[in-house]
């Protein structure tokens, strides 16, 4: 029974507040005909602070996709190893114990993947498998957990390392003036997270069943338009309505496992925005307080893409965890529109549950 151990999370040192974001929008887009709407939408995100890899004056520049991607690689190499080491220490494993590294990111591109550099730099075994996932956006955090679960189910003595590295600020496009783009400028933040899934032992969420669901014909609702200037984020106004069709998918996964999705002990949910959490609370008939970890991530860090689910789980650990055998649901949502879902129990020291 694979156990998802305590995640390690790090955010950059440069901070931008909601007030600063609103003032920048007023200054840079004073003549925008939909500025009042954009400001209102940004205020309604509930994001109070975000962390970014560069000072805001540098973030607002656009030196070109080549320079931005070089910065992505440099910042990842500078910041990711320490986050991984804390995750390994918390899970009480060594680099030599890791059998696969699952690396997720949608804000920069490297080939070979950062996984190859990590194997060399941090002395992972040269037989360590590599699984980079680059095109699932915010859903990739949930997908990484699911693929780690699948791996440990196939190799019960194996251990998987999940790494999520998102520098959303490097995707800022000053020429994008759609309301969706202006909203994203006030919503997304930067963050890195890592966690170990142990095939045997460990304290955390013992993963029992996972699944995926894609809402048909919604692939253009969240997307990148890839141009010479880099990744241009596209966000359809219908995205906030997606919890109504996705809630039944969560209910089906829990129901297949013999559980009621409305009556679980903890929920670790990707917080794309407050509407997502409000609607999921409504359609699952779950107390809004159950999503407090996701709301805290959104408030303090903004939407940090694939790292959100791991940060929300870290907050559950910080609260002291859950009762042994407590039942929970983890879910990430992203382009597709895709849901990556997992159910499992909280265990202490890899306790066996039946």
Q: Rounded to an integer, what distance in angstroms lies between the CA atom of residue 127 and that of residue 176?
A: 44
- 64, 58, 67, 65: which is closest to 12 by C-alpha? 58
Query: For residues 140 and 291, what is the distance between their CA atoms, to the nearest angstrom?
Result: 19
Rounded to an integer, what distance in angstroms lies between the CA atom of residue 267 and that of residue 276?
14
CA distances, 251 to each of 85, 133, 147, 267 (Å): 36, 26, 21, 13
Beta partners for residue 124, in sequence order = none
Four-CA torsion 197, 154, 336, 214, nearest 10 degrees: -110
Residue with tokens 């994001």: 47
Angle at 49 between CA 80 and CA 269, to 5 degrees: 70
What are residue 269's DSSP bridge partners?
331
Pair 202, 3: CB distance under 8 Å: yes
138 in catalytic set: yes
The catalytically annotated residue of 138, 152, 168, 171 is 138
Rounded alpha-carbon distances, angstroms, from residue 124 to 4, 94, 168, 200, 346: 20, 9, 28, 19, 28
Please, which residues have CB within 8 angstroms of residue 17's CB and are 6 or more apart in sequence? 48, 49
Catalytic residues: 138
């Amino acid at each position: 029974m694979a156990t998802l151990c305590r995640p390690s999370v790090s955010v950059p040192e440069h901070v931008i507040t909601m007030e600063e974001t609103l003032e920048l929008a007023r200054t840079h887009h004073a003549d925008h005909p939909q500025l009042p709407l954009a400001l209102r939408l940004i205020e309604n995100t509930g994001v109070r602070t975000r962390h970014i890899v560069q000072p805001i004056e540098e973030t607002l520049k656009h030196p070109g996709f080549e320079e931005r991607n070089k910065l992505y690689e440099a910042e990842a190499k500078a910041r990711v190893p320490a986050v991984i080491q804390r995750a390994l220490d918390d899970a009480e494993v060594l680099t030599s114990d890791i059998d696969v590294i699952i690396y997720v990111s949608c804000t920069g591109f490297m080939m070979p993947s950062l996984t190859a550099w990590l194997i060399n730099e941090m002395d992972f075994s040269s037989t360590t498998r590599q699984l980079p996932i680059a095109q699932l956006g915010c859903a990739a955090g949930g997908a990484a957990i699911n693929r780690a679960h699948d791996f440990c189910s196939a190799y019960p003595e194996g251990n998987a390392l999940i790494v999520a590295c998102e520098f959303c600020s490097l995707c800022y496009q000053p020429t994008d003036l759609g309301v969706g783009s202006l909203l994203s400028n006030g919503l997304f933040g930067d963050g890195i997270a890592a966690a170990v899934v142990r095939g045997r032992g460990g304290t955390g969420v013992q993963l029992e069943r996972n699944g995926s669901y894609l809402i048909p014909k919604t692939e253009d609702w969240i997307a990148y338009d890839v141009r010479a200037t880099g990744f241009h984020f596209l966000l359809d106004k219908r995205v906030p309505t997606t919890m109504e069709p996705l809630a039944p998918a969560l209910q089906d996964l829990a129901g297949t496992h013999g559980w009621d999705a409305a009556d679980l002990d903890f929920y670790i949910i990707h917080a794309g925005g407050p509407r997502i959490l409000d609607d999921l609370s409504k359609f699952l008939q779950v107390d809004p307080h159950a999503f407090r970890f996701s709301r805290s991530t959104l408030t303090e860090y903004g939407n940090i893409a694939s790292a959100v689910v791991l940060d929300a789980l870290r907050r559950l650990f910080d609260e002291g965890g859950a009762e042994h055998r407590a039942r929970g649901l983890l879910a990430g949502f992203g382009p597709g529109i895709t849901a990556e879902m997992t159910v499992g129990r909280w265990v202490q020291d890899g306790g066996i549950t039946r």
